[in-house]
Copies of this chain bind each other. A is one copy, B any other.
Amino acid sequence: MAAGRSLRSLGLLLLGALMISPSALPQEQRPLYLMPVPSSVQIGAGALLVDSSFTVGFAGYTEPRLDRAVQRFLRQLSRQTGIPLGLKPIAGGKPVLVIRTGHASKEIQELGEDESYVLETTATGAKLSAPTPLGAMHGLQTFLQLVDVSPNGFAAPAVTIKDKPRFPWRGLMIDSARHFVPLDVIKRNIDGLEAVKMNVFHWHLSENQGFRVESKKFPKLHELGSDGLYYTQDEIRDLIEYARDRGIRVVPEFDLPGHSTAWFVGYPELAGGPGPYEIERRWGVFDPAFDPTNERTYKFLDEFIGEMAKLFPDRFFHVGGDEVNGKQWDANPKIQDFIKAHDLKNNEGLQSYFNKRLEPIVARHGKSMVGWDEVLDPTLPKDIVIQSWRGPDSLAAAAKQGFRGILSNGYYLDLGWPAARHYAVDAMTGAAATLSPEEQARILGGESCMWAEYVNPENIDSRIWPRNAAIAERLWSPQEVTDPASMYVRMEIISNRLERLGLTHKTYYSQMLRRIAGPSSPEEFAALGRLASVVEPVKDYTRHRTAPAEPTSTTPLNRVVDAVPLESASARHFGELVDKFLAAACHDSASEARLRAQLTAWRDNDARLQPLAQRSFLVKEVAATSQALSTLGAVGLAALDFLAKGQRAPDDWKAQQLAVLQQLEQPKAQLLLMPAPAVQKLVEAASAGGACFASN
């Protein structure tokens, strides 16, 4: 009866997957919403009910970390179902879920350890097998994603899942230097990483704007370089333990020789130019850089890296290496003499010299050096790892030269790209596709990056999630899993699950809007919400350029642009609806009604928002955007009228509307009106002799 159907790694198929149910249960038709998609899923018969008798037991190898993982799992399952569950794995009896682990994983988690698992659920129980605790922990997360409400109670459908990651390095970088990110915020994001099976937390710890780690050897680093906002060594040890418990490595980054003003506040003698220095408050690339010609620099870094190498047990140690503008070196005759004397040609040569001095220091303390593209130098040992912000071709070139690399270009979360755009970025495309298998193996994976100019504890989760789940899937799931529609459906579901886990990427939003609105009627507040739901902050690096005043690290992040998610789900849904309506040659009256309702609400919204704009300077800032939305609604309604009546719109009308739309697409208050392109489609359809008029 349970003749399972093998569904190899196809998100779309998974979505439509049927489950064949035993007679005890009514027919079920429930899609799976797994993210990342496993490498293989076979659908079985029936479903495993999860009720208060649910228990977990171990067979085979176990360790305290697994115990804790199961307790977390049960707590989470309890939260997910609202059913009180015994919070300890049981020793005897016949547990509902049996975990069989082969052997211990490495004491310090290593790159490339076996993370695979097999999870089998049936109507009567579940088995999870994994060579190591890492795989077992991934399997527990998959189990959590299987459980949902059903017609008969909470249940996990019967499936057999065989799963393993595509890439061994799947990371998120958080910049806690530009804005300090408190430890509890880091921790809830680590929880998020565990949920989407990422295994590296890359911690960007020093910048022009702050040095964030307690150094016992050089206390002036954190005392003078952090405004008191730094992590103690105890806190860091705690965080590393926390991450290890979730199968996540912690790779520290200390950016050298540039991005380093905050170091020089306490130790000006290490800089390439004269002090004194202050913590930088502005954003950008600044002049201060270490003096690579000074032996004191290497002595200092040797001691400092020695201290940090003990604090951070991971094999990899990131030294940054990006964006040295060289101005300080240019201005220093001693440094220029050194370049000439050592035949280094230019500042680039000098940075190369610096890296060649730095690498043995890092290696001596037992670490492999990681750096951004700029550190790549064919004469460095092949042990180093290149993190590419430049792109996959640069990564492929490095791999050809024998260097390992990880991709971050295309995964910068702060640029405000839609999830689908990140999702389409694959490290193995372009030049990488032509590499030999041996060379391809050097491409270890990738990391999403959360640069922190415009984030604080309140909105950072919303800048990372849920989009980071799409990148996590790219790095875990088979390369063929690429359908953005499937991804979006699952991302919206995982987003709710992440919020339940403790992330605040959804709840922060209404609080920020409340603050922006101030005391307001339900109608006024709804009007603000309607406007906010269809705008996005300006993209890429235009936020800085278009800022009303130069933004700094103390600028309040309380404007609408700081509050709205970086990707508007409402605008996307509207776009899908327009496509559906036009694809049906305008003969879809349900879609037409929904479009009309939406466009009418937009047209009428500005009047409802006006009272708030009178009372709140933060709403007033978006008054022009609000008017633009009203105009957009009116334009869309006019187009829809033509389409509904089967009247072709005159050409001058079209020209006029397109001119209006072009105006509406200009950013206002650093916000983009996202449904504008979809409305433009309606306008173009209304004035084209297309399918919509064929049979009208």
Contact = CB atoms under 8 A, between A and B. Distances in A.
B620 A151 contact: yes
Contacts of A500: 511, 514-515
Contacts of A558: 81-83
A82 B151 contact: no
A153 interface: yes
B554 A52 contact: yes
Contacts of A30: 615
Given A82-B458, A511-B499, A618 B149 contact: yes
Given A84-B556, A514-B496, A617 B149 contact: yes
A149 B82 contact: no
Of the candidates A52, A81, A148, the one having the most CB atoms from chain B within 10 angstroms of its own CB is: A148
Interface residues of A, number: 45
Given A81-B556, A82-B556, A558-B82, A573 B522 contact: yes
Contact of A518 (B149, B514, B554): B149
Given A153-B617, A499-B511, A500-B511, A518 B148 contact: yes
Given A81-B515, A556-B84, A617 B150 contact: yes
A538 interface: no
Nearest to A52: B554
A33 B615 CA distance: 15
Contact of A151 (B84, B556, B562, B616): B616
A639 interface: no
A248 interface: no
Given A81-B556, A556-B81, A558-B82, A615 B515 contact: no
Interface string A144-159: 0000111111000000
A595 interface: no
Interface in A200-218: none
A616 to B, nearest CB: 4
A620 B151 CA distance: 8
Contacts of A615: 30, 149-151
A260 to B, nearest CB: 23
Contacts of A81: 515, 556, 558
Contacts of A496: 511, 514
A81 B573 CA distance: 32
A617 B511 contact: no
16 contacts: A52-B554, A52-B556, A82-B512, A82-B515, A82-B562, A84-B556, A148-B519, A149-B515, A149-B617, A150-B615, A150-B617, A152-B617, A493-B519, A496-B511, A500-B514, A500-B515
Which 3 pairs show the lowest CB-CB distances between chains A and B?
A82-B558, A149-B518, A149-B616
A380 interface: no
Interface in A75-89: 79-84
Nearest to A490: B519
A499 to B, nearest CB: 7
A288 to B, nearest CB: 24
B83 A149 contact: no
Contacts of A148: 518-519
A593 to B, nearest CB: 12
Interface in A462-510: 493, 496, 499-500, 506-507, 510
A557 interface: yes
A614 interface: yes
A528 to B, nearest CB: 12
Nearest to A594: B523
B151 A614 contact: yes
A149 B556 contact: no
Contact of A516 (B149, B507, B562): B149
Given A514-B496, A515-B81, A519-B493, A616 B556 contact: no
A83 B556 contact: yes
Nearest to A87: B228
A674 to B, nearest CB: 16
Contacts of A82: 458, 512, 515, 556-558, 562
Given A52-B554, A500-B511, A33 B519 contact: yes
A517 interface: yes
Nearest to A559: B82
A234 B334 CA distance: 62
